[in-house]
Copies of this chain bind each other. A is one copy, B any other.
């Protein structure tokens, strides 16, 4: 790219997008320059607005440009249910299914002592306060079924059980629909057997 230092810098900056290597960044830059300058400026505009303006909901900690997100403000939702997820994408995925009508609490991560991520970093103090203050009757733990996710779920379940009126549940783990047993890993299959239900 010796012919244009500015273009070189543009390509270099696009490489900091996740999953974008040198070839992809090159293609993006050339395509935007050739037939999408307006699109390029719009991306720049939205990035500026987003990076400056998007903070966290004061209630559930998800990404949000206002003080409270639209879900926390929805009056028709069931305030007795609180679903704990690791990040806003998980919250979005659950929302897209349209089966859960309670509120969320987004940890924005999981407990990971080795990386120095402790309870304060994932909003446990705010969560603890929320559990005492409100009319919650069930806490649904929907953290990922990874070592850190399970540890986080365990930690929060201990916390929630201090409130006697709260029932703590964990989303079910087992063989996914459409999955074939021969391709399922042993851990999942063991979970599916332990958690078997009567038909």
Contact = CB atoms under 8 A, between A and B. Distances in A.
Interface in A122-146: none
For A14, A57, A108, which residue has the most chain B Cβ atoms within 10 angstroms?
Answer: A14
Interface of A is mostly: helix
| Pairs of residues from A and B, 4 with the lowest C-beta to C-beta distance, nearest first | A44-B47, A3-B69, A10-B50, A13-B46
Contacts of A41: 47-48, 51-52
Contact of A51 (B17, B32, B91, B95): B32
Contacts of A67: none
A44 B45 contact: yes
Given A89-B26, A95-B2, A40 B51 contact: yes
A44 B54 contact: no
**Could you say how many copies of this chain the assembly holds?**
2
Interface of A: 1-7, 9-10, 12-14, 16-19, 24, 26-34, 36-37, 39-54, 57, 62-65, 69-71, 87-89, 91-92, 95, 108
Nearest to A23: B89
